[in-house]
């Protein structure tokens, strides 16, 4: 292996990626011996530093394929590898392009596939996404008769959440129930039994959920022989966003370190926002103690924003006394004083955001340099209406996920069947699409299809022949077409196979959904994406691990211009930045969410969430507080509450902002008279029916 002797770091001819770093960044990039923790505040050049470190390691002679770069999203992995790749183009062997990078789950998937036999897993195991797991839990619950206990039993998504959090936190279920789900405690026994049955069922079906990927990876690392074998292929593990790892992930990293890998963890405890997924900032705080001999480098120089904005962010951060001290210092001058805008309600807020976005656009700021951030995917509903009305193009990240749409799940079920003809859950879903087929007939047809084990491809036509007899005549023709397409898709490539299945599914989608034509466009987009994958199994698995985070990830919709506004949840905005950021719906009950006011720690997490939102802005930041908001955005009744500003926007924080109280829109401002104050205005059509 090529090992370079000289370190180029201190020479006058240091490579530009080192020359441009500040002293702390430089120290992190060229740290030589042992583990390293980089505490990188918002906007302090974290990505630059990680990329420089990857480049430096390669320059030092570490083979790129022996560097494992674990990131939080696929997008982050892509960006870092591209930037590091550009730095190391001249390195022997292709440089950073050969670095192994991706999310924990993607890396786990590769390893678990490679070691499937040792883990006692079928080679063709399938992956369940969170919704699939919830559906299977629901099924097991029904089989166990747990839905008839009389007392309200947790819903399937709650069940999935409970199960997942128990596994990811590696805490006993009872403890979790007592601390975080006291209203479910009475079902403790039933839940424990359900989750055991769920695990058994997954094994039976040959499926893994996302948590299982981590569990199996950890099992591999902790196994002396397998662990050594895996670690022998890795010299350096770099973990981005370490404040958002959970106990399982820490076990994996620590296991690799025990086998001799060197760990670099990068993160910022004040941006820990995934506690609901059992992540804990305690892991980054405990890193120096857990990883012996680890050095710590702190980055506090902020290159993103002006001091006016950082003063506000620092003031919010100062409300929390725990963790490492965090003060960001601006390196750039300029930037505006953040604005805090009080408006009437969310309709008013939407109009105001549109006005300001368009005004900035007039002054030359592209729409894509501006973003609107919100606590929940829901918060942008009214804004989306207003944007559409004004024909302002936008793309939304986070919120409603593509893969959860029913028609997409239908399609994925068919895709999965191509290489798993014994996939009971997928068959069930597909059969239900046929007209006149409900749970009972689907069950009976399924018994024929799967009689005596999964059907070998050669036997599929014969088994289908008996199964279709259970179905009403109106369903048979479409069923025939689907089965024929399944048979045909097995030999075709990914692209042709997906096309074929789409065509067979099309009439069913059109029949089932009123807006079938629109939904078919989604399937077309998925077909396009499938064409890029090696085969359909890989395609479906990768889709589950790295779901497209917006419709634009799938395909650029034809109505979009090349310039568009970004709408995002704060969670999905992590790690991103824009010239101008609008944070909407910053009322108490949303920041913090009313669901989260239970414990001190969950309120602290909400504060960090607001902090993440504020620190996304480079030049201009506007925070909106609607004075009145509606409990039911879609509700017909006018139920509303009176919103106070987020408690995190305390007087001392507000003092650092330009506070704007917008006059009520005159048309809407006329006060609604109290009932009885005047003669009621009535409408009657009775006379028409006299």
Nearest CB to DNA, comparing residues 88 and 103: 103
With CB under 7 A as the contact rule, the residue among 90, 123, 634, 684 that binds DNA is: 634
Confirm or reject binding of residue 546 to DNA (CB under 7 A): yes
**Measured on CA atoms in the order 402, 403, 408, 411, is the torsion positive or negative?**
positive
Q: Report cis status (omega within 30 of 0) of the bond before 141.
A: no
β-strands 578-583, 370-374: how paired? parallel
Give CA–CA dist 263/235, Å, rounded: 9
Confirm or reject binding of residue 572 to DNA (CB under 7 A): yes
Confirm or reject binding of residue 104 to DNA (CB under 7 A): yes
Confirm or reject binding of residue 600 to DNA (CB under 7 A): no
Q: Which residues contact 202 (CB under 8 A, 6 or more apart)?
A: 128, 136, 208, 209, 212
With CB under 7 A as the contact rule, the residue among 73, 490, 521, 579 that binds DNA is: 73
CB contact burial 242-280 (16+ within 10 A = b; e otherwise): bbbbbbbbbbbbbbbbebebbbbbbbbbbbbbbbeebbb
Binding segment for DNA (CB under 7 A), chosen from 347-355, 488-496, 568-576, 614-622, is 568-576
DSSP 298: E
Nearest CB to DNA, comparing residues 91 and 596: 596
Confirm or reject binding of residue 184 to DNA (CB under 7 A): no
CA atoms within 13 A on the CB side of 387: 21
* Shortest reach from residue 276's CB to DNA, in Å: 4
Question: Which residue in this structure is represented by tokens 């506690």?
Answer: 275
Binding segment for DNA (CB under 7 A), chosen from 41-49, 413-421, 592-600, 644-652, is 592-600
With CB under 7 A as the contact rule, the residue among 375, 420, 468, 582 that binds DNA is: 375
Confirm or reject binding of residue 304 to DNA (CB under 7 A): no
With CB under 7 A as the contact rule, the residue among 43, 101, 399, 626 that binds DNA is: 399
Binding segment for DNA (CB under 7 A), chosen from 57-65, 82-90, 376-384, 616-624, is 376-384
Confirm or reject binding of residue 95 to DNA (CB under 7 A): no
Residue 31: which of 4, 1, 66, 57 has the closest Cα?
57
Task: Give me the phi and psi of 599, to 5 degrees please.
Answer: -120, 160
Binding segment for DNA (CB under 7 A), chosen from 87-95, 461-469, 567-575, 613-621, is 567-575
* Shortest reach from residue 338's CB to DNA, in Å: 23
Residue 374: which of 626, 6, 670 has the closest Cα?
626
Cα-trace Rg, the chain: 28
* Shortest reach from residue 400's CB to DNA, in Å: 7
CA–centroid distance for 171 within its chain: 23
Segments in 390-472 forming alpha helices (H): 406-417, 424-432, 439-449, 460-467
Size of the site for DNA (CB under 7 A): 52
Give CA–CA dist 265/109, Å, rounded: 22
**Count of C-beta atoms within a 10 Å radius of residue 674:** 7
* Shortest reach from residue 639's CB to DNA, in Å: 10
Give CA–CA dist 303/604, Å, rounded: 26
* Shortest reach from residue 74's CB to DNA, in Å: 7
Give CA–CA dist 40/21, Å, rounded: 14
In the structure encoding, which two tokens stand for residue 464, read together?
């289908």
Burial of residue 340 (CB within 10 Å: 0-12, 13-18, 19+) is: buried
Binding segment for DNA (CB under 7 A), chosen from 17-25, 47-55, 459-467, 626-634, is 626-634
* Shortest reach from residue 364's CB to DNA, in Å: 30
Confirm or reject binding of residue 630 to DNA (CB under 7 A): no
Nearest CB to DNA, comparing residues 203 and 401: 401
Q: Is 47 annotated as a binding residue?
A: yes
Confirm or reject binding of residue 237 to DNA (CB under 7 A): no
Binding segment for DNA (CB under 7 A), chosen from 190-198, 231-239, 363-371, 402-410, is 402-410
Give CA–CA dist 328/313, Å, rounded: 8
With CB under 7 A as the contact rule, the residue among 159, 205, 261, 437 that binds DNA is: 437
Nearest CB to DNA, comparing residues 36 and 126: 126
Confirm or reject binding of residue 324 to DNA (CB under 7 A): no
Overall residue count recorded for the chain in this entry: 690
Give CA–CA dist 29/466, Å, rounded: 66
Q: Is 43 annotated as a binding residue?
A: yes
Q: Which of positions 115-144 make contact with DNA (CB under 7 A)? A: 129-130
Query: Quick check: helix, strand or coil at residue 366?
Result: coil
Give CA–CA dist 604/598, Å, rounded: 11
Binding segment for DNA (CB under 7 A), chosen from 45-53, 154-162, 323-331, 670-678, is 154-162
Binding segment for DNA (CB under 7 A), chosen from 2-10, 261-269, 530-538, 546-554, is 546-554
DSSP 678: S
* Shortest reach from residue 457's CB to DNA, in Å: 27
**Strand positions, DSSP E, 331-393:** 339-343, 370-374
Q: Is 452 annotated as a binding residue?
A: no
Confirm or reject binding of residue 72 to DNA (CB under 7 A): yes
Angle among Cα 580, 584, 589 to the nearest 5 degrees reads: 145
Q: Is 298 annotated as a binding residue?
A: no
With CB under 7 A as the contact rule, the residue among 132, 161, 269, 423 that binds DNA is: 161
Q: Is 380 annotated as a binding residue?
A: no
Segments in 232-377 forming alpha helices (H): 247-258, 282-285, 287-290, 307-317, 346-362
Residue 400: which of 522, 498, 483 has the closest Cα?
522
In the structure encoding, which two tokens stand for residue 130, read together?
């969170």
Confirm or reject binding of residue 441 to DNA (CB under 7 A): yes
Burial of residue 8 (CB within 10 Å: 0-12, 13-18, 19+) is: middle
Nearest CB to DNA, comparing residues 432 and 492: 432
Residue 241: which of 257, 253, 232 has the closest Cα?
253
β-strands 207-209, 236-239: how paired? unpaired
Confirm or reject binding of residue 439 to DNA (CB under 7 A): yes
Confirm or reject binding of residue 607 to DNA (CB under 7 A): no
Give CA–CA dist 65/55, Å, rounded: 13
Q: Is 655 annotated as a binding residue?
A: no
Confirm or reject binding of residue 105 to DNA (CB under 7 A): yes
Nearest CB to DNA, comparing residues 256 and 657: 256
Binding segment for DNA (CB under 7 A), chosen from 12-20, 308-316, 375-383, 491-499, is 375-383
Confirm or reject binding of residue 641 to DNA (CB under 7 A): no
- What x/- string results for residues 256 through 295 when contact with DNA is judged by CB under 7 A? -----------------xx-xx------------------
Nearest CB to DNA, comparing residues 21 and 237: 237
* Shortest reach from residue 554's CB to DNA, in Å: 14
Nearest CB to DNA, comparing residues 195 and 342: 195
Q: Is 44 annotated as a binding residue?
A: yes
Binding residues vs DNA (CB under 7 A): 72-73, 103-106, 129-130, 147, 155-156, 161, 164, 210, 273-274, 276-277, 375-378, 398-399, 401, 404-406, 432, 435-442, 515, 545-547, 549, 569, 571-572, 593, 595-596, 632-635
Annotated binding site: 40-47
Residue stretches of the annotated binding site for ATP: 40-47
């Amino acid at each position: 292996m090529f090992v370079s002797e000289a370190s180029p770091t201190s020479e006058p001819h240091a490579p530009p990626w080192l020359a441009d770093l500040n002293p702390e960044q430089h120290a992190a990039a060229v740290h030589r011996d042992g583990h390293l923790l980089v505490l990188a505040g918002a906007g302090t050049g974290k990505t630059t530093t990680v990329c420089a470190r990857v480049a430096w390691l390669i320059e030092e002679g570490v083979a790129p394929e022996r560097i494992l770069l674990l990131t939080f999203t696929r997008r982050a992995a892509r960006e870092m590898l591209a930037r590091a790749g550009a730095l190391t183009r001249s390195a022997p062997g292709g440089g950073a392009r050969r670095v192994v990078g991706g999310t924990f789950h993607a890396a786990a998937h590769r390893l678990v596939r490679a070691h499937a036999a040792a883990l006692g897993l079928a080679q063709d195991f399938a992956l369940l996404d969170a919704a699939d797991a919830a559906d299977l839990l629901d099924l097991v619950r029904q089989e166990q008769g747990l839905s008839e206990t009389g007392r309200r039993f947790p819903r399937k998504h709650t069940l999935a959440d409970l199960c997942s959090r128990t596994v990811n936190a590696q805490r006993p279920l009872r403890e979790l129930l007592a601390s975080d789900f006291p209203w479910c405690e009475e079902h403790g026994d039933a839940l424990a039994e359900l989750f055991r049955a769920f695990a058994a069922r997954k094994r039976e079906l040959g499926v893994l959920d996302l948590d299982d990927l981590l569990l199996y990876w950890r099992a591999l690392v902790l196994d002396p022989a397998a662990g050594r074998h895996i670690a022998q292929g890795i010299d350096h593990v770099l973990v981005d966003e370490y404040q958002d790892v959970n106990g399982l992930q820490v076990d994996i990293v620590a296991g690799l370190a025990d086998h001799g890998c060197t760990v670099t963890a990068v993160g910022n405890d004040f941006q820990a926002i995934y506690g609901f997924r059992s992540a804990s900032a305690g892991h980054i705080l405990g890193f120096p103690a857990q990883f012996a001999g680890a050095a710590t480098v702190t980055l506090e120089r902020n290159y993103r924003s002006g001091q006016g904005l950082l003063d506000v962010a620092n003031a919010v951060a100062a409300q929390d006394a725990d963790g490492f001290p965090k003060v960001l210092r601006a390196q750039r001058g300029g930037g505006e004083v953040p604005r805090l805008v009080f408006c009437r309600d969310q309709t008013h807020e939407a109009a105001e955001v549109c006005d300001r976005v368009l005004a900035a656009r007039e002054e030359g700021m592209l729409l894509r340099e501006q973003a609107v951030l919100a606590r929940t995917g829901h918060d942008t509903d009214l804004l989306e209406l207003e944007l559409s009305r004004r024909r302002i193009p936008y793309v939304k990240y986070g919120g409603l996920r593509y893969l959860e749409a029913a028609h997409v799940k239908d399609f994925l079920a068919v895709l999965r069947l191509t290489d798993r003809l014994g996939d009971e859950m997928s068959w069930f879903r597909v059969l239900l699409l046929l007209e006149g087929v409900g749970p009972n007939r689907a069950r009976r047809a399924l018994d024929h299809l799967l009689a005596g084990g999964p059907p070998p491809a050669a036997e599929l036509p014969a088994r289908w022949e008996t199964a279709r007899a259970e179905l009403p005549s109106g369903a048979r023709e479409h069923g025939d077409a689907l089965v024929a397409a399944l048979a045909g898709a097995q030999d075709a490539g990914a692209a042709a196979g997906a096309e074929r299945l789409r065509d067979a599914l099309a009439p069913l989608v059109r029949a089932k959904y009123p807006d079938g034509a629109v939904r078919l466009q989604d399937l077309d987009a998925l077909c396009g994406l499938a064409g890029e994958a090696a085969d359909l199994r890989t395609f479906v698995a990768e889709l589950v691990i790295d779901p497209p985070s917006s419709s634009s990830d799938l395909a650029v919709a034809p109505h979009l211009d090349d310039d568009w506004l970004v709408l995002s949840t704060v969670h999905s905005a992590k790690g991103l930045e824009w010239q101008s950021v609008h944070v909407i719906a910053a009322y108490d009950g949303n920041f913090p969410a009313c669901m989260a006011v239970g414990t001190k720690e969950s309120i602290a997490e909400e504060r960090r969430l607001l902090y993440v939102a504020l620190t996304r802005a480079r030049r201009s930041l506007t925070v909106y507080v609607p004075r009145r908001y509606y409990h039911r955005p879609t509700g017909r009744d006018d139920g509303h509450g009176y919103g106070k500003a987020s408690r995190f926007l305390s007087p001392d924080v507000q003092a650092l902002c330009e506070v704007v109280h917008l006059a009520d829109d005159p048309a809407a401002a006329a006060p609604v008279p109290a009932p009885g104050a005047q003669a009621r205005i009535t409408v009657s059509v009775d006379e028409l029916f006299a």
